Amino acid sequence: MDISQSRRILRKTFACDECKRRKIRCSGNENCNNCRRDARSCRYSSPSQRLSTLQRRLNESERLRADMERAWAIYLPTVDLQDALHTVRSQNDSITATQQGPHRQKHLSDVTHATEQPPAGFVEPSNAEDYEFDESQDFDNSTDGMGFLTVDPHKAGYTGPQSGIAALKFLQSLPLYLPLTSFSPLSCLDDDIDGGTACTAQQRRADVLRYLDDYFAFYHPAYPILHEGTFRARVSGALAKPRDGSWPILYNIVLAIGAFVGDSQGTKVDIPFFKEARKHLSMDVLEKGSLSYVQAIVLMANYMQKRNKPNAAFIVIGIGWSMALAIGLHREFGMPSTSPFTMEIRRRVWWTLFVFVSGVQLTLGRPAVSLVGVNVHLPANVDDHDLAVDMDELPECGTGPTITSCLIAQVNLAKIANVVQVELLTHHLPTQQKAADLEQRIHTWYQELPPHFGLSIPLEPRFDIPRRVLLWRSFHLRIVINRPFLFQSIAAKSELTTSTGPVAACLTAADECVASICSFLESTSNRRRGLTWYATCWLLTASFVQATCYIYEPAHSLAQTWKCQIQRAVNCLGSLGSSHDMALRARDVLQNILEHGHGIAVPSDMAPYASSQLPGSFRALWFPTNDQQTFKPNTLGLDDNMSGYAPGSFNAEFLDAAGGLMIQNFFDNYSEERAQNAPGSSIPG
């Protein structure tokens, strides 16, 4: 067969039925040229043509699927595609044909948003009005930043299942925990802010310059929301200050943060600057929008969280988020409409804001923020001095540590935290496989960090502290993922499995966190509040996991290890007290466990107790018999004193330590019972 004959056969084979009938040449398209011109129905009955059509449609479907997966990853990064598909399929299976129409839009909406819905039967156990709050008092200590040391806790705002207060409420439900009646916090914040000393104008000027330096030395490397050169030029008058009313807020809140993070004596010199900044806030702010305003509002929110106003901070940062969206910070703009310098600063502001919002939402257990519609790039890994207002393009990104290195890593971790947030809000207790997958994402994130994030590489302090705090934050996220399984085991009165599984993962993360923080604190004399604030927070969160296990299962083979680590944490918290009085309160919580728990702990040279060998009063609390009275917290006075603990500015996980205070009461009562029932006797250990 010659070539011309084969071509004729090919054309005939791929001709449509109408062209075959008319014996004319066919173009072979899905709707051929002749049929389209003559308005005829174009059909192909040839097997080879049907196969070709199916192949073409399959290729188009594959391309469409690939495009959809890429779009999903960009615009819905916090939602797992396979989970969303599984949810839709399971919902479709349970819906009858008559119900599919009216419910279709709702199911699509559920998947479109970056948060899933909680179980339909879940109802909040508290009264809705209990979540109203009042943080209008000026640092009067009626509500402290950690929440569990609050004198009169009430109306403290809503906190979700992954917050520290949720852990507290779980622990309150256990028979071990008895009410607090005698603890009252101590603080110097009730003293006069001025301290009774008069400062000269020259001294005030020197203080202001020092606070400015401290801001850029101890805060800016972690959260580079400003450009140092531009800000200092505006302070000196070399550049014009913003004229939209934002400058007094921005300038004073920068000084307040600098005074706070640079202080190592626990003073209150930062508060006057905050009050001055707050004085310039008004409803007029809601009628304006600028980059400078967003910077000021975001910094004020972060400062308020650190100064024990977590709900107020949450609201203020919400205003900052809305204003940022309103001025398009979430979108990428190019030359020539926007200069590289301006675009880079906008990127820094947006992603710093995202880190703060994501963090406070995880802290308080509130729905995660969505990145739908966000296409702004991550900041470049360059220093402030590499940027110039009149530059035509950004310099090449560096490979070593820069002022934005930590922010870039924090953004990627915050995106994982959002996925964790969605999972915990949706399911409360995720599957073990899901928890393992989430933890693996954190491990992958860590492995992909640049080499200078390894602690074996020495860095100057301004880069070293943010690096360590970031790693401590990742430990905390691992604890949050797996902590529900620990509490589930305790609620079920099960033995703690510490070899494999989520309980083991929770303890491993806690052990690594305590070891990392304590090792660093033992090697440095740095006690500035920019460090101690975070060290206290993460150390107590991790230590409380160990303390919970130590109290629950004192005969465990790891009990002595837990006890040693708790003691190490106590020593470190005591060393932080000079700059941060909350650390002393946290120390007292853990110290009480050690002092009163030794009678239950088992020495290393003795066989552990089985549950049937536990001291009577202790075993009865963990393993109550059926004829014992049902435990009701409100009969013990927990209704008024414990139900509304304020989430803390120390990222609320501090609330975990509240269980330690209640453990104190248990040990006090238990010691008295031992003395009365068995005089002269003692429990080994």
Query: What backbone torsions phi and psi does residue 457 show, to the nearest 5 degrees?
Result: -95, 120
pLDDT over 70 (residue 466): yes
At which of 20, 36, 60 does a domain end?
60
Q: What average pLDDT does this structure show over 301-318?
A: 90
pLDDT over 90 (residue 219): yes
pLDDT of residue 166: 53
Q: Would you call 270 helix, strand, or coil by DSSP?
A: coil
pLDDT tens figures, 146-174: 444 444 445 555 555 555 555 445 444 44
pLDDT of residue 181: 37
pLDDT of residue 159: 56
Domain count, the chain: 2
- Supply the mean pLDDT for the chain: 76
Contact 590, 547 (CB under 8 A): yes
At which of 597, 618, 637 does a domain end?
597
pLDDT tens figures, 598-635: 444 333 333 333 333 333 333 333 444 444 333 333 33
pLDDT tens figures, 230-265: 999 999 999 999 999 999 999 999 999 999 999 988
Neighbours of 560 (CB within 10 A): 16
Which tops the pLDDT comparison, 14 or 107?
14
- Residue 311 banded pLDDT, cuts 50, 70, 90: confident
pLDDT of residue 680: 37
Q: How far apart are CA 41 and CA 61, in angstroms?
A: 25
Match 């003691």 to its residue by tokens. Answer: 567
Contact 214, 259 (CB under 8 A): yes
* Residue 618 covered by a domain: no
Contact 589, 171 (CB under 8 A): no
pLDDT tens figures, 536-588: 989 988 998 998 898 888 889 999 999 999 999 999 999 998 888 888 888 88
- Residue 673 banded pLDDT, cuts 50, 70, 90: very low
pLDDT tens figures, 349-401: 999 999 999 998 888 888 888 999 999 999 999 999 999 998 888 988 888 89
Bridge partners of 156, per DSSP, are 133
State the burial class of residue 217 (Cβ atoms within 10 Å of its Cβ: 0-12, 13-18, 19+).
Answer: middle
pLDDT over 50 (residue 137): yes
* Residue 84 covered by a domain: no
Identity of residue 555: A
Range of the domain at 368: 201-597
pLDDT over 90 (residue 301): yes
* Residue 218 covered by a domain: yes
Which tops the pLDDT comparison, 403 or 127?
403
Q: What average pLDDT does this structure show over 61-66?
A: 88
* Residue 133 covered by a domain: no
Q: What average pLDDT does this structure show over 664-681?
A: 40
Which tops the pLDDT comparison, 293 or 45?
293
pLDDT of residue 382: 95
- Residue 207 banded pLDDT, cuts 50, 70, 90: very high
- Residue 455 banded pLDDT, cuts 50, 70, 90: very high
Going by C-alpha positions, the residue among 357, 363, 374 that lies closest to residue 319 is 357
Domain at 6, CATH number:
4.10.240
- Residue 21: both structure tokens together: 């009938």
Q: What average pLDDT does this structure show over 75-91?
A: 72
pTM of the model: 0.70
* Residue 479 covered by a domain: yes
pLDDT of residue 611: 35
Which tops the pLDDT comparison, 164 or 281?
281
Which tops the pLDDT comparison, 393 or 685?
393
pLDDT over 80 (residue 641): no
pLDDT of residue 336: 78
Contact 682, 599 (CB under 8 A): yes
* Residue 172 covered by a domain: no
pLDDT of residue 588: 87
Which tops the pLDDT comparison, 442 or 19?
442
Going by C-alpha positions, the residue among 158, 84, 71 that lies closest to residue 115 is 84
Which tops the pLDDT comparison, 125 or 114?
125
Q: How far apart are CA 190 and CA 97, in angstroms?
A: 66
Neighbours of 62 (CB within 10 A): 10
| Beta strand residue intervals within 347-465, DSSP E | none
Bridge partners of 133, per DSSP, are 156
pLDDT of residue 85: 79
pLDDT of residue 319: 94
* Residue 333 covered by a domain: yes
* Residue 475 covered by a domain: yes
Identity of residue 610: A
